[in-house]
Structure 1
Amino acid sequence: MLAPVHEVPAFISGPKRHLINGQWVDAASGRQIDVVNPATGEVISQIAAGDATDIDRAVAAARRAFEGEWSRWTPHQRRKLLLKVHDVVLDNFEELATIETLDMGAPLQRTRGLAEWTSQVLQFFASQCDVATASTPPNSLPGNFLTLKHLAPVGVVGGVIPWNGPLIGLWWIFGPALATGCTAVLKPAEDASLSVLRIAELLTEAGVPDGVINVVTGYGAEAGQALSEHRDVDRLAFTGSVGTARSIVRASATNFKRLQLELGGKSPDIVFADADLDKAVPGAAMGVYTNSGQVCVAGSRILVQRPIYDEFVARIGEFTKTVRVGDGLDPNTQLGPLINQRQLDRVQQYIQIGGTEGAELVTGGNRLDHLGPGYFLEPTIFADATNTMTIAREEIFGPVASVIPFDDVEDALRIANDTEYGLAGGVWTRDLSTAHNVSRGIQAGTIWVNCYGVLDPSIGFGGYKMSGYGWKGAKEHVESYLYPKAVYINLD
């Protein structure tokens, strides 16, 4: 299949380097990693393969910047900078959306749609530049004491983000770092680094001082591990798998760095018999299929009350057949390819396991060979699934839904909470009491009622249980880039 005609951004051509201390530099080893377009399987660029040496250089640059002139920037100066970043990024967003689509496969329909969200998140962090406050709480000390409490920037922040949405993920590190006066070293996923590198280039154009923002590309086992172990990194934000998170938790013991972890999910999306199925069917389906299922919060366990179970299965099966899969450059495409051959093989293996364990394949499950050598897969629905099946227990990270029947509220909550994860959940009902009781009863950090997947940076989201800890968005996120400091002053 020929890819749709679309102008390829000039940025993509030629090998890419690290951004360290405001300079574009090669990997110390000289090695590079091929960048593959998942819609075609073709190599479209190269990125530097960083390792511990590159991380050392980036962290040292970030430390110098943190202790240098950047530390004297006022909240107003940082706010002006963030607003300048906002304008520069939005002015170049069409290019950024195209780069993201070519790099990790998400349809232009999705990547272009992130412009307004990006505007919102940057303006939110610009509004938070005054969070590092000082207060004078009363004390009960004998004598004449004045007590102060400060919030101060923690220092050098490390970030490790995944490949499923770098155009979004990087702002959860860069945004609060710029707002609070911290500095940052970001390690994007080796499968999708191009949009991060282009944004880093735009940040320098917007006036971010040298060393405040640094980007080192490379493999997780090399650059990522070095960043998580580095003794001069004060805080690390990680989004990814539970297995890698365990390694990061152990590595953080080198200097007891603060951690923020957003991990996997196997989120329940609960459809009650009184739900509006005209909304619940497409809503629950796209709660799984969005970004080709490569979303941590995907509602991949769809729990449906028995009186409407058969109707729901039939309707979601028909809806699924209408979802358009193809090259993300085609404006009509709703679902793009999976990120690489390894992920495609992994998802197809889960589909095979689902059939072996007795779930009914309603629709989908096949690789779409007619679309060419890209990593395209039909969105897939399994019915008659149980919560003990592998497809209902393990995160698949692909467009695969398991539809599970339940009897009543108590049964729904029992099934929903029978998981080691606690990232998100959904409820579809017309009954206000059911909405409140079930959303309160689901053990997860983010719950949606009669919708799925919407996020506001001023509200935020986070995980529970083995889905991690730490909040993204809202004042809590910004304050996690600060540490409290008490000052006792004897006035006698």
Structure 2
Amino acid sequence: MMQQAVADYFARFGVPMEVVSFVDRPIGHFIDGRETVATADRIDLVEPFTRSRLTGVVNGTAADVDMAVASARGALAGPWGKMSALDRQKLILRLAAAMETDADVLAHLEAIGVGKAISDARLIDVPGSIANLEYFAGWTSKLDGRTTNAVALPGESFTYTIKEPVGVVAAIVPWNFPLQILSWKLAAALACGCTVVCKPSELTPLSAMRLAHLASKVGFPDGVINVVNGYGHVIGQALASHRGIDKLSFTGSTRVGTSVGKTALETMKRLTLELGGKSPVIVTGKADLDIAASAILVGIFMNSGQVCDAGSRVYADASIHEELLARLRTGAEDMPIGAGLDPNSKITPLVSSAHRSSVLQHIDAAHAEGAVLVTGEGSGGGGREDGILQPTIFDQCSEKMGIFREEIFGPVLGVSRVNTLDDAVERANSSIYGLAAAIYSDSVDETIALSRRLKAGNIYINAHGLVDPTMPFGGLGASGFGKDMGPEQLDGFLSTKSVYVQLNR
């Protein structure tokens, strides 16, 4: 069970007893409408701030995946598959309402699992997840096919298409926004009539398990939403290779996504991969520097930099470079640092000691390669015992350095001076990634022209990291393919059947 350091941490910040009772127990799978434990083997969950054991989660196997897939296929052929679109809509809305009632518990689970700021979990993660379910609930009754007139067939015919659920969906969810990214995949899949087997990160399974319990409570048929816990190389690969899975939606690193994607294609699954990023930020000489500096700091330091579309490399026009850098430094040094459960904290622990060590290696490499430290962690830094790294900014960065090439996934920002917009665009587009890009300028002409030239799936103008259920999210190149959210996501969970009817024969 949880160690005393975690219990003391919870008591210090008044964690509700409902949260404590949910986490202070062995965590199983959620299969066929109930939580189940098929093995005594456990993975320790470590709370990021105290670095102490929180609880244990079942270490799943391929046999557990088989059970979950069988349950999902049974629900698809049974009550869920036979349910009317409007009844599905009502259930999705009931789940959203239950999440709203449970919002404080869900926010605590995100802060406890990821180590993130509970203020962000309350204002961003939980409301965003609910909004996504509410938005896609409305699509359940609007997934129509079409009728058309054949243009090349002899005689008379009647032709039409039917939209049908693709089947059983495997949703592989990362650890940085476990609830919100699960909602991206779950909402669209449910709206289309699919059933789901979710594999959360072994680091952060709590909110997925809570959501599955809520879904069962509000009346979802058994087997519609399943959660299988365990390591990615076991559970993720088993889902990717399983012939009972019709669609795989994966969010995670480019390295793991490439491996999982190759396995999925061996059984010709539908596939969506939302992978890594190294998002460029262009600040022109016409930018409002107050707006730019504030938004850049949010874009890189939100969730302590553990964001796939984080704006991690800034190209600043020479005319404003020094002034922008000064504002970035002041803003970074003023950021409140502390425990995830502290409502005043903005920079909080990284998710694990292993990930923190990885980020520190990137920081050491930036020092060694000649980047100039503006503020934050020095070479060989990271001496704190609470898992936190200071917001770190380097100047005089270049594409020859790892800080401008590699996804660091931590609170580390690189800045470079540019003399022309052409130079900025060329350097921004030099990355293998293409998830997002940001532009700061008060010139409408300048921002529109730049948005057309930048190679990225998401363009932010005078802001960063905006997300809305109506807008598709996904990237290019090494950032993957396919979309989460927006109407564009729906086609990934639907199959189209063409029907020809010959008349007057």
What TM-score, normalized by structure 2, do the two folds share? 0.95
2:63 is the alignment partner of 1:53: yes
1:256 corresponding residue in structure 2: 268
Gaps of 5+ in 1: none
Q: Retained in 2: the 8 A contact 1:58–1:214? A: yes
The offset of 1:30, in angstroms, is 2.6
Q: Which moved more, 1:323-332 or 1:128-137?
A: 128-137
Q: In structure 2, what is the Cα distance between the partners aligned to 1:249 and 1:92?
A: 35
Superposed displacement of residue 369, structure 1: 4.7
1:185 maps to 197
Contact 2:261 2:273 in 1 (8 A): no
Corresponding residue of 1:398: 410
The yes-or-no answer on 1:44 pairing with 2:54 is yes
1:208 paired to 2:220: yes
| CA deviation vs aligned residue, 1:460-484 (integer Å, no higher than 9, x gap) | 2110111000011111112210011
The separation in 2 between residues aligned to 1:331 and 1:177, in whole angstroms, is 34
**Deviation of the 1:368 alpha carbon:** 5.9
4+ runs of 1 displaced by more than 6 Å?
none
Report the counterpart of residue 480 of structure 1 in structure 2.
492
Residue 307 of structure 1 aligns to a residue whose secondary structure is coil
Query: Which of residues 8, 15, 27 in structure 2 aligns to 1:7?
Result: 15
Could you say which residue in structure 1 is the equivalent of 2:132? 121
CA 1:241–1:181: 2 relative to 1, 3 Å: same
- Among 387, 390, 396, the alignment partner of 1:384 is 396
Structure 1: distance between partners of 2:398 and 2:285 = 19
Matched with 1:159 is 171
Aligned partners of 2:103, 2:188: CA distance in 1, in Å? 21
- Conserved? CA contact 1:294–1:398, under 8 Å: yes
Distance 1:317 1:7 in 2: 34
Tell me what 1:456 maps to. 468
Q: After the TM superposition, which residues 47-196 of structure 1 pair with which residues of structure 2 at under 5 Å, given as runs?
A: 47-114=57-124, 115-140=126-151, 141-196=153-208
Offset from partner CA, 1:279-333 (integer Å, 9 cap, x none): 1112112211110100000000011001111121122111110011110111100
* Corresponding residue of 2:349: 337
Counterpart secondary structure, 2:470? coil
Kept in 1: contact 2:250–2:273 (CA 8 A): yes
Query: 1:161–1:189: 8 Å Cα contact kept in structure 2?
Result: yes
Give the aligned partner of residue 220 of structure 1.
232
C-alpha deviation, 1:116, in angstroms: 2.9
Of 304, 313, 321, the match for 2:325: 313
CA distance in 2, matches of 1:63, 1:199: 20
Per the TM alignment, residue 254 of structure 1 is displaced from its structure 2 partner at its CA by 3.0
Number of matched residues? 489
Q: Quick one: which amino acid aligns to residue 114 of structure 2? A: M
Does the 8 Å contact 1:173/1:184 carry over to 2?
no
> CA offsets, 1:108-147, max 9 Å, x none?
1100013432332111111110243132111121122111
Shift of the alpha carbon at 1:168? 0.3
1:268 maps to 280
Unaligned stretches of 5+ residues in structure 2? none
Alpha carbons 1:6, 1:329 under 8 Å: kept:
no
| Distance (Å, rounded) in 2 between the aligned partners of 1:131 and 1:468 | 28
Deviations 1:374-428 (A, max 9, x none): 2110010000111221110000000000001111111110010010000000000
Name whichever of 468-477 and 360-369 sits farther off: 360-369
Report the Cα distance in structure 1 between the residues aligned to 2:263 and 2:452, rounded to whole angstroms.
35
Amino acid paired to 1:397 = F
**SS of equivalent to 1:462:** coil
Secondary structure of the corresponding residue to residue 336 of structure 1 = coil
The residue matched to 2:445 in structure 1 has which SS?
A: helix
SS for the counterpart of 1:345 is: helix
Q: Is the 8 A contact 2:347 2:390 kept in 1?
A: no
Q: Is the 8 A contact 1:292 1:337 kept in 2?
A: yes
